[in-house]
């Protein structure tokens, strides 16, 4: 399986990192080794001094497709959750300055937290609130209605380049409010009123 991520999908977040808002989705991938195993702690990696959390709605692809048209895109996933796209911001900034790919800043081991999946039919996907709590305080919150590219557009566009397969995950971008995690932080991910993950940073 693969993990497809979209960058700069919330304008307030693009602004906070001084990025321009792209016309087309900016995609990047994480390998399956990026997934943090369930109930494991996240260990701060030695190669970075500034790991950021990015809380994002995650879609789980339920059937294979290529060149999916936007009007059918919502048939390609049944379940959603919240995830974290952990990012080595210091590495990413250096790589971006040089015009190099960000891979090592985004796709490293355990950089993808994936919560417990929920049936998408329970929710209004156009008005889906989510949040990340850090040490019992809300650190980041968002709503799917703030996305620049909606789920249909993301799936449709991604499938022009990457054949989607059952079990693939799509991280749909982070809202404003990203920040650093430190040792002993406790993170909880929520979609509406459901807690979907709880992890400790070590």
Q: How far is the CB of 55 from Zn ion (least distance, A)?
A: 9
- Distance between CA atoms of 53 and 113, rounded to whole angstroms? 10
Nearer to Zn ion, 64 or 102 (CB): 102
**Contact predicate 155/9, CB 8 Å:** no
Q: How far is the CB of 71 from Zn ion (least distance, A)?
A: 26
- Distance between CA atoms of 116 and 196, rounded to whole angstroms? 5
**Contact predicate 51/180, CB 8 Å:** yes
Q: State yes or no: residue 133 binds Zn ion (CB under 5 A).
A: no
One character per residue 64-103, x = contact with Zn ion (rule: CB under 5 A)? ---------------------x------------------
> Which residue in 142, 174, 181, 201 binds Zn ion (CB under 5 A)?
174
Q: State yes or no: residue 54 binds Zn ion (CB under 5 A).
A: yes
Beta bridge pairs of residue 189: 132, 197
**Contact predicate 189/82, CB 8 Å:** yes
> Which parts of this chain interact with Zn ion (CB under 5 A)?
54, 85, 174
């Amino acid at each position: 399986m693969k993990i497809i991520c979209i960058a700069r999908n919330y304008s307030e977040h693009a602004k906070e990192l001084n990025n321009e808002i792209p016309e087309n989705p900016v995609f990047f991938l994480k390998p399956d080794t990026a997934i943090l195993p369930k109930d494991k702690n996240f260990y701060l990696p030695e190669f970075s001094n500034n790991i950021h959390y990015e809380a994002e709605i995650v879609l789980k692809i339920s059937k294979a497709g290529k060149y999916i048209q936007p009007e059918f895109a919502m048939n390609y996933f049944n379940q959603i959750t919240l995830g974290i796209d952990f990012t080595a911001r210091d590495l990413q900034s250096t790589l971006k300055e040089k015009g190099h790919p960000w891979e090592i800043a985004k796709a490293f081991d355990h950089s993808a937290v994936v919560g417990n999946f929920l049936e998408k039919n329970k929710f209004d996907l156009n008005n889906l609130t989510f949040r990340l709590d850090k040490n019992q305080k809300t650190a980041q919150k968002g709503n799917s209605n703030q996305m620049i590219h909606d789920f249909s557009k993301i799936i449709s566009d991604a499938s022009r380049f990457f054949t989607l397969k059952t079990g693939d995950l799509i991280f749909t971008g982070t809202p404003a409010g990203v920040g650093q995690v430190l040792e002993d932080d406790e993170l909880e991910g929520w979609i509406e009123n459901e807690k979907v993950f709880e992890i400790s940073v070590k």
